Amino acid sequence: MRPTVLFSLALGSALALAQGPLHANQSPLPTPDAATAATPTPDLPVPRADVLSAPNVAGTAWILIDHDSGQVLAGHNIDTPVHPASITKVMTSYIVADHLAHGRIKDDDAVFVSERAWRQGGAGTDGSFTALKVNDSVALEDVVRGLVVQSGNDASIALAEHIAGSEEAFADLMNQYAQRLGMSNSHFVNASGLTAEGHMMSVRDIATLSRALIHDFPEHYKLYSIKEYTYGGIRQYNRNGLLWRDSTVDGIKTGHTAAAGYCLAVSAKRGDQRLISVVVGIEGGRNEAFRLREEANQALLAYGFRAFETHRLYQAGQAVATPELWRSADDTAQLTVASDLHVTIPRGRYDDLKAEMVMPPVLIGPLQAGQEVGAVSVTLAGEEVAQVPLVSMAEHGGAGFFRRVWHDILLLFE
């Protein structure tokens, strides 16, 4: 295994981005930009807030994450599988959005309302429904609004059957998507969230899915901010009461079954920072539980926005370093981060961040565009809070025979 070397990276003005070979005393300087949307990154450690403590909220499990960095800011039982109730429909919605984006389905598709969709998810049940008529054909965009705004179980089943042929086949698709998104503590049996053996999600997975939905399909996500929806002459209201109480909230999803209790996943954006909170398992009477699940999410969001700030340190596609490159036709290689690197830290701690670039002491060509050559690691008080691969920005071909021989000779003295 080739040894690696650590280069310290200063955090400050972007004007000093390295333009030549990188040495230990010549460091690229990223800009502490306000956060912008980023490619989802792995879960990261929980940073310590210096002044405020996380609230003790109601619920059997809850979590608060930053959307851009993905960092967990607070939580309780975050990896415990629980009954998710209608929060399940966020996955149904995600799959619908993905199929629309790839042209597999269209907004004007005629969605057939089967007897199963009507009987198991319609007015004859004790769950939420969109009032779709059995054996009717409804425009897909209307069914999707019924799914997102009204949380219709009938809409969920109808869409599942439209996409996959049956709800069982759609559940298999849901599990494939969950695996792709890294939702390791989730398993889906149906498209609606009605209680079923083995149908579970963790609050971390709910937050991960919500983050992916917001990032991957921002136009589709706008449906989650709709407060009411009329179909068939019936006005139906979004059950997320925070849409009325907090102007910064623009989603995400409520849920309730006897097994799950009352649940709520919320996202809010204030300035350039977006947070996601999830609270599940609140018990009590309907009105009281509605109040408790909204207050719990409000408390988490208030804590997160007061205690933490998010910065984009490095932007994908911008040169982070240009180290010397050996055995290549090019003298140097331009390196960038594989995805935007965001960090979420306690407010006022930006100057305490330290960044290091980990890469081989001698970089050998040829290199392919996007080839991983190392990593950028960011720490706060000795604890890693972010890491992202370091990759080649372009293809760098191999050296010719005589140049390669000359480099081999020089490398004997490196």
Write out the catalytic residue numbers: 86, 89, 151
Instruction: Tell me the sheet residues that pair with 9.
Output: 355
- Closest to 84 measured CA to CA, from 300, 224, 284, 255: 255
Instruction: Tell me the sheet residues that pair with 240.
Output: none
State the amino acid at position 252 in one-letter form. I
Q: How far apart are CA 248 and CA 225, in angstroms?
A: 10
Characterize the bridge pairing of strands 308-314 and 33-34. antiparallel
Q: How far is CA 168 from CA 83, 171, 189, 255, 259, in A?
A: 18, 5, 7, 21, 21
Q: How far is CA 21 from CA 17, 18, 28, 312, in A?
A: 11, 8, 11, 24
Reported as type and span, the H/E element at residue 170 is helix 167-180
| Peptide bond before residue 252 is cis, with ω within 30 degrees of 0 | yes
The answer to whether 177 and 91 are in contact (CB under 8 A) is yes
Q: How far is CA 233 from CA 86, 131, 229, 249, 339, in A?
A: 24, 10, 10, 28, 47
The answer to whether 17 and 10 are in contact (CB under 8 A) is no
The answer to whether 59 and 42 are in contact (CB under 8 A) is no
- Closest to 255 measured CA to CA, from 238, 267, 233: 238
